[in-house]
């Protein structure tokens, strides 16, 4: 058996953002030496990992050379140089998630093809090398309005996704490789996180629900467990598990899905790492997603994914109109409320819509948690000084 704890073993992580920071809490708990590659010297992980290396995650040499210094390599962001990972893997380095899975997931076109090849339910789509190609198809009515446009690569947190209803909506879009998806009316946006280790053991987290602002069409609350029928939840978990097994995936996979108006489950997209939809697990679950990520990539036994209490997560996002040194206004007011835990990611400067932190609300009663979450959302403001 490998000895990871208080040993010479070195875990490498590509990326030093907030997900890395929350992984570090767990590697510290287990005393696993952790080295991080990241381009931003002020990134959330900078001060608190064992070893911090500055370098570009998309640069072959930076990733390759970093990989040569560690015993197991993982990621906290999927936009990394996969050619370097392929070479490291060939040379014997253990890398989870696997480079081939990252290659499939990095491209939304590849993801969609994968779902179709494996009969995983997803919305119909078309694939275009450039926006110009899409325009031609619209002009010739091969494709019709409305549809969802997605950049094929490097979309992140809703950037790179747009609902297109007419030619005017196309004007702001970049002329890059893209897919279009049929616009399917849905009742709920759901997510399921599945962990799998290299022995093939799997554990599935409960289904979470994204509650949207009724007007702004923005996710306001991530709610665990989702307030849906058991049969729908079971179906969502089965679909997520099928994606993980069909990918022969090792690590943590967050599967985002739609529940259609006819209670079908359609896979939207996946993320091969800890995910915003699992942040609630730090306070609510027996084993949080960050510890589970560590367990899965090191082929340790997986932990219990059940919840101790209901959990709701609210993102702390930089308010419009404020830029510069961050100030968390009214943070004290939310600390007064039972079961409220803020997480501050350590970004010194706020910008409009920048993800600066999140707040978890836990309660034995999910309806009480939902009321508290609304109060939290209405109280705290991420502004500048």
Q: Given the rule CB under 8 A, which residues bind its own copies?
A: 1, 3, 5-7, 21, 24-25, 28-31, 47-50, 286-287, 291, 295, 300-301, 303-304, 306, 308-309, 325-328, 331-332, 335-336, 338-339, 341-348, 362, 364, 385
What are the structure tokens assigned to 147, written together?
A: 């549809």
Nearest distance, CB of residue 1 and its own copies, angstroms: 6
User: Which of 29, 40, 75 minimizes the C-alpha distance to 345?
Assistant: 40
Burial class (CB in 10 A: 0-12, 13-18, 19+), 358: buried
Map residue 167 onto helix, strand or coil: helix
Structure-token match 């049969």, residue found: 231
Q: Which residues are annotated as a binding site for ATP?
A: 108, 150, 181-184, 189, 268-269
Closer CB to its own copies, 105 or 224, in the complex? 224
Minimum gap (Å) between residue 350 Cβ and its own copies: 9
Residue 150 or 279 with smaller CB distance to its own copies: 279
| Structure-token pair, residue 83 | 């050619």
In sequence order, the β-bridge partners of residue 250 are none
Nearer to its own copies, 146 or 324 (CB): 324
Nearest distance, CB of residue 57 and its own copies, angstroms: 23
Binding-site residues from annotation: 108, 150, 181-184, 189, 268-269
Q: How far is the CB of 331 from its own copies (least distance, A)?
A: 6
Nearer to its own copies, 29 or 234 (CB): 29
Residue nearer to its own copies on the CB measure, 41 or 385: 385
**Cis omega before residue 97 (within 30°)?**
yes
Tell me whether residue 187 or residue 364 sits nearer to its own copies (CB atom): 364
Angle 108-117/99-106 helices, nearest 10 degrees?
100
With a CB cutoff of 8 Å and minimum separation 6, the contacts of 203 are 194, 195, 292, 302, 303, 304, 305
Q: Which is nearer to its own copies, 175 or 304 (CB)?
A: 304
Query: Given CA atoms 50, 45, 340, 310 in this order, what sign does their dihedral have?
Result: negative
The string of DSSP letters for 316-350 reads EEPPTT--EEEEEETHHHHHTSTTEEEEE---SEE
Decide: 180 and 134 in contact? Cβ < 8 Å.
Answer: yes
User: C-beta of 14: minimal distance to its own copies in Å?
Assistant: 20
Q: How far is the CB of 178 from its own copies (least distance, A)?
A: 36
Cβ neighbours of residue 40 under 8 Å, at least 6 residues apart?
16, 46
Closer Cβ to its own copies, 77 or 362, answer by number: 362
Euclidean distance between CA atoms 139 and 330, whole angstroms: 52
Task: Tell me the backbone φ, ψ of residue 226, rounded to 5 degrees.
Answer: -60, 145
Least separation in angstroms between CB 25 and its own copies? 6
Question: Least distance to its own copies from the beta carbon of 85, Å?
Answer: 27
The set of residues, in sequence order, having a beta carbon less than 8 Å from that of 277 and lying 6+ positions away, is 191, 193, 208, 210, 222, 254, 256, 313
Both tokens of 74, joined, read 């993982």
User: What is the C-alpha separation between 360 and 337, in angstroms, rounded?
Assistant: 11
């Amino acid at each position: 058996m490998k000895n990871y704890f208080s040993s010479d073993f070195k875990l490498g992580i590509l990326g030093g953002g907030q997900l890395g920071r929350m992984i570090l809490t767990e590697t510290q708990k287990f005393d696993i030496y952790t080295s991080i590659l990241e381009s931003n010297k002020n990134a959330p992980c900078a001060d608190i990992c064992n070893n911090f290396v500055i370098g570009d995650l998309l640069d072959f040499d930076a990733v390759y050379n970093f990989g040569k210094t560690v015993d197991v390599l993982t990621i906290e962001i999927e936009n990394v140089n996969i050619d370097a990972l392929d070479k490291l893997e060939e040379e014997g380095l253990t890398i989870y998630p696997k480079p081939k899975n990252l290659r499939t997931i990095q491209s939304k076109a590849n993801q969609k093809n994968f779902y179709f090849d494996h009969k995983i339910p997803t919305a119909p789509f078309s694939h275009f090398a450039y926006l110009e190609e899409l325009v031609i198809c619209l002009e010739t009515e091969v494709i019709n309005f409305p549809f969802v446009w997605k950049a094929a690569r490097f979309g992140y947190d809703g950037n790179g996704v747009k609902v297109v209803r007419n030619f005017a909506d196309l004007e702001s879009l970049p002329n890059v490789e893209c897919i279009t998806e049929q616009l399917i009316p849905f009742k709920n946006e759901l997510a399921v996180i599945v962990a799998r280790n290299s022995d093939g053991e799997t554990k599935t987290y409960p289904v979470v629900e994204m509650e949207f602002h009724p007007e702004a069409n923005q996710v306001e609350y991530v709610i665990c467990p989702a307030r849906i029928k058991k049969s729908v939840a079971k179906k969502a978990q089965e679909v997520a598990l099928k994606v993980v097994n069909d990918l022969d995936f090792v690590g943590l996979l967050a599967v985002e899905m739609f529940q259609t108006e006819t209670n079908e489950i359609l896979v939207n997209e996946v993320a091969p790492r800890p995910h915003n939809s699992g942040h609630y697990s730090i306070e609510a679950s027996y084993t949080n997603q960050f510890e589970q990520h560590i367990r899965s990539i090191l082929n340790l036994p997986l932990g219990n994914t059940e919840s101790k209490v209901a959990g709701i997560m609210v993102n702390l996002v930089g308010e419009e109109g404020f830029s510069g040194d961050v100030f968390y206004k009214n943070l004290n007011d939310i600390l007064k409320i039972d079961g409220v835990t803020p997480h501050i990611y350590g970004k010194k400067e706020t910008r409009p819509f920048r993800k600066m932190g999140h707040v978890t609300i836990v309660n034995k009663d999910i309806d009480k948690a939902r009321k508290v979450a609304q109060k939290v959302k209405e109280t705290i403001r991420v502004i500048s000084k």
